[in-house]
């Protein structure tokens, strides 16, 4: 788990053109879901391309604690012998989800309609994050939650012995909340309905369908309505995890800001609930081409060819926020190199991620010579344009992998080196980040550790 060891200070220096092929790891969201749905199925689920980052490994451990047999066969190759819907055993240890909001929230949902108790905790970042957004809807199924003041971890959930199905309109745009409700709905009789105002990433719906659940989605005046028929028999599947667009974002954005670069990032998911960053970058003037568009593992994928580009700032539509919610930190780095102002409204959810990402990016960019404005819901970056980004400062990563990687990318094109106080959280989602970036030509060094 991140944040439990010695902090690793990292520094990134200006580099020559980035070139080559960047094979980024498997999608984090899909990896969590493959393990959880595998654990809730009957038979052996085979997973290839699983992200072996700390977040996902913590979910694998949790699935074992609930009674599934989870085995690694080789790099990215895993199998899960599931216990079936409603078959979770009561864990005899605390479930430590490390840094992972997705892990803890989805697993809480998945166990909430079984007559078992489980206690959840996480690292210092996860223990600060709101869990009420999941405990509220699972209480409607009949589950009870006992946590720290303000709905924080550590927290014990008593699953409902006699669950009832629910109809729930998510109060915030959150795929984690939607997924927790759907996973809880699996072991409730009748229909569970989730209504979202704006659609969020739909991997849970796609994968549930793939595992044999009856699930439908429709657009109505109320919003995006998802209906799940409870108590299906989920049947074990082969899951090929596509590469993670949120990890691809780092080499893609690095290539855009380091002069002379040209890279290819193959097999990146282009799921329309995840591809907002690539659309925004194109609108900023990015030279990105989408080659070999195809389907892999039930997701649309493409090979991305990316060349250094002179970019301009813009107003990023708030309606696109959920399709690029994890990409705002790296987008704000790209915006620092653009000409003109980039305004990013509708991003208040960034305040409750692994860190307060508006604050973390604003303070780190300011320290590195970039002018920033912010309010509760908006981040505004004044691009440095042709004068370039000064750099030369240390940014705090606040136990947040995406903040750490964003500042390492900043250092690749800033005039002076850029450091982060602790790069160890990078291992939660992109354990090969340093090697992969070095292979393209980046100059990142560990100052200790």
Q: Under rule CB under 6 A, how many of the chain's residues touch ligand S3P?
A: 10
174 binds ligand S3P (CB under 6 A): yes
Q: What's the distance, Cα to Cα, between the start and end of the chain in Å?
A: 16
What minimum distance in Å lies between the beta carbon of 327 and ligand S3P?
Answer: 10
Is residue 385 packed enough to be buried (19+ CB in 10 Å), middle (13-18) or exposed (0-12)?
middle
User: Which residues within the stretch 131-160 sit at the binding site for ligand S3P (CB under 6 A)?
Assistant: none
What minimum distance in Å lies between the beta carbon of 201 and ligand S3P?
Answer: 6
What is the C-alpha separation between 104 and 91, in angstroms, rounded? 14
- In the complex with ligand S3P, the residue whose CB is nearer, 419 or 428, is 428
- In the complex with ligand S3P, the residue whose CB is nearer, 283 or 349, is 349
What minimum distance in Å lies between the beta carbon of 179 and ligand S3P?
Answer: 6
By C-alpha distance, which of 385, 440, 431, 386 is closest to 412? 440
User: Using alpha carbons only, how large is the chain's radius of gyration in Å?
Assistant: 21
Q: Specify whether the CB–CB gap between 234 and 85 falls below 8 A.
A: yes
Residue 209 annotated as lining a ligand binding site: no
User: Which residues within the stretch 31-90 sit at the binding site for ligand S3P (CB under 6 A)?
Assistant: none
428 binds ligand S3P (CB under 6 A): no
- In the complex with ligand S3P, the residue whose CB is nearer, 112 or 412, is 112
Which one of the spans 44-52, 170-178, 267-275, 363-371 is the region binding ligand S3P (CB under 6 A)?
170-178
Query: What are the beta bridge partners of residue 302?
Result: 268
The continuous run of DSSP H or E covering 234 comes out as none
Q: Which of 325, 372, 394, 404 binds ligand S3P (CB under 6 A)?
A: 325
- In the complex with ligand S3P, the residue whose CB is nearer, 174 or 406, is 174
By C-alpha distance, which of 55, 75, 159, 174 is closest to 110? 159
Q: Specify whether the CB–CB gap between 144 and 171 falls below 8 A.
A: no
What minimum distance in Å lies between the beta carbon of 83 and ligand S3P?
Answer: 22
The continuous run of DSSP H or E covering 158 comes out as strand 152-158
349 binds ligand S3P (CB under 6 A): yes
Residue 46 annotated as lining a ligand binding site: no
Residue 261 annotated as lining a ligand binding site: no
What is the C-alpha separation between 312 and 340, in angstroms, rounded? 6
By C-alpha distance, which of 56, 101, 96, 114 is closest to 80? 56
Residue 28 annotated as lining a ligand binding site: yes
Residue 357 annotated as lining a ligand binding site: yes
102 binds ligand S3P (CB under 6 A): yes
- In the complex with ligand S3P, the residue whose CB is nearer, 39 or 394, is 39
- In the complex with ligand S3P, the residue whose CB is nearer, 145 or 412, is 145
> Known catalytic residue: 359?
no
- In the complex with ligand S3P, the residue whose CB is nearer, 204 or 368, is 204
Residue 353 annotated as lining a ligand binding site: yes
By C-alpha distance, which of 157, 113, 115 is closest to 132? 157
Residue 174 annotated as lining a ligand binding site: yes
Cite the DSSP H helix spans in 259-341: 276-283, 328-337
Q: Which of 54, 58, 244, 326 binds ligand S3P (CB under 6 A)?
A: 326
The CA-atom distances, in angstroms, between 223 and each of 160, 217, 319, 332, 406 are 28, 10, 14, 30, 34
Of the candidates 55, 96, 244, 326, the residue annotated as catalytic is: 326
What minimum distance in Å lies between the beta carbon of 397 and ligand S3P?
Answer: 16
What minimum distance in Å lies between the beta carbon of 355 and ligand S3P?
Answer: 12
Q: Which of 31, 59, 179, 275 binds ligand S3P (CB under 6 A)?
A: 179
29 binds ligand S3P (CB under 6 A): yes
Residue 129 annotated as lining a ligand binding site: yes
175 binds ligand S3P (CB under 6 A): yes
Cite the DSSP H helix spans in 284-423: 328-337, 357-367, 401-413
What minimum distance in Å lies between the beta carbon of 388 and ligand S3P?
Answer: 31
Q: Specify whether the CB–CB gap between 26 and 50 falls below 8 A.
A: yes
The CA-atom distances, in angstroms, between 351 and each of 29, 174, 230, 282, 379 are 20, 13, 34, 26, 11
What is the C-alpha separation between 312 and 339, in angstroms, rounded? 5
Inter-axis angle of helices 175-185 and 132-141, to 10 degrees? 20
Q: Which residues bind ligand S3P (CB under 6 A)?
A: 29, 102, 174-176, 179, 201, 325-326, 349
Query: Active-site residues: which are they?
Result: 326
Feature table: binding site for phosphoenolpyruvate: 28, 101, 129, 176, 357, 402
Feature table: binding site: 28-29, 33, 101, 129, 174, 176, 326, 353, 357, 402
């Amino acid at each position: 788990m991140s944040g439990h060891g010695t902090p690793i200070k990292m520094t990134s220096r200006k580099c020559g053109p980035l070139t080559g092929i960047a094979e980024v790891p498997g999608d984090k969201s899909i990896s969590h879901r493959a393990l959880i749905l595998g654990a809730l199925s009957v038979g052996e689920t085979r997973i290839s391309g699983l992200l072996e980052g700390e977040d996902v490994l913590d979910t694998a451990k949790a699935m074992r604690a609930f009674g599934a047999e989870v085995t690694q066969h080789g790099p990215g190759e895993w199998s899960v012998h599931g216990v079936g819907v409603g078959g979770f055993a009561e864990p005899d240890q605390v479930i430590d989800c490390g840094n992972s909001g997705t892990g803890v929230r989805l697993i809480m949902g998945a166990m909430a309609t079984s007559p078992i108790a489980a206690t959840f905790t996480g690292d210092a970042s996860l223990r600060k994050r709101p869990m009420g957004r999941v405990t509220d809807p699972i209480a409607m199924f009949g589950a009870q939650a006992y946590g720290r003041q303000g709905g924080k971890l550590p927290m014990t959930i008593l699953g409902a012995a006699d669950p009832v199905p629910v109809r729930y309109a998510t109060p915030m745009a959150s795929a984690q909340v939607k997924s927790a409700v759907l996973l809880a709905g699996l072991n409730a009789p009748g229909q569970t309905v989730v209504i979202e105002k704006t659609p969020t990433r739909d991997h849970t719906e796609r994968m549930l369908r793939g595992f044999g659940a009856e699930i439908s989605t429709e657009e109505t005046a109320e919003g995006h309505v998802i209906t799940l028929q409870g108590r299906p028999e989920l049947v074990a599947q082969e899951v090929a995890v596509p590469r993670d667009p949120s990890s691809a974002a780092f080499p893609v954005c690095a290539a855009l800001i380091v002069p002379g670069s040209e890279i290819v990032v193959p097999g990146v998911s282009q799921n329309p609930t995840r591809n907002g960053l690539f659309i925004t970058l194109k609108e900023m003037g990015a030279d990105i081409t989408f080659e070999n568009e195809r389907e892999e593992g039930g997701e649309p994928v493409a090979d991305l060819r990316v060349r250094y580009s002179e970019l301009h700032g813009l107003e990023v539509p708030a309606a696109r926020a959920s399709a690029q919610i994890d990409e705002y930190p790296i987008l704000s780095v790209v915006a620092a190199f653009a000409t003109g102002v980039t305004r990013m409204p509708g991003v208040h959810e960034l305040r409750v991620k692994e860190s307060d990402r508006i604050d973390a990016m604003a303070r780190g960019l300011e320290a590195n010579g970039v002018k920033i404005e912010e309010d509760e819901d908006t981040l505004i970056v004044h691009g440095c344009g042709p004068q370039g980004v000064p750099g030369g400062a240390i940014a705090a990563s606040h136990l947040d992998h995406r903040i750490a990687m964003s500042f390492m990318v900043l250092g690749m094109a800033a005039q002076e080196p850029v450091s982060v106080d602790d790069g160890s959280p990078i291992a939660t989602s992109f354990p090969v980040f340093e090697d992969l970036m070095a292979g393209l030509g980046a100059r990142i060094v560990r100052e200790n550790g």
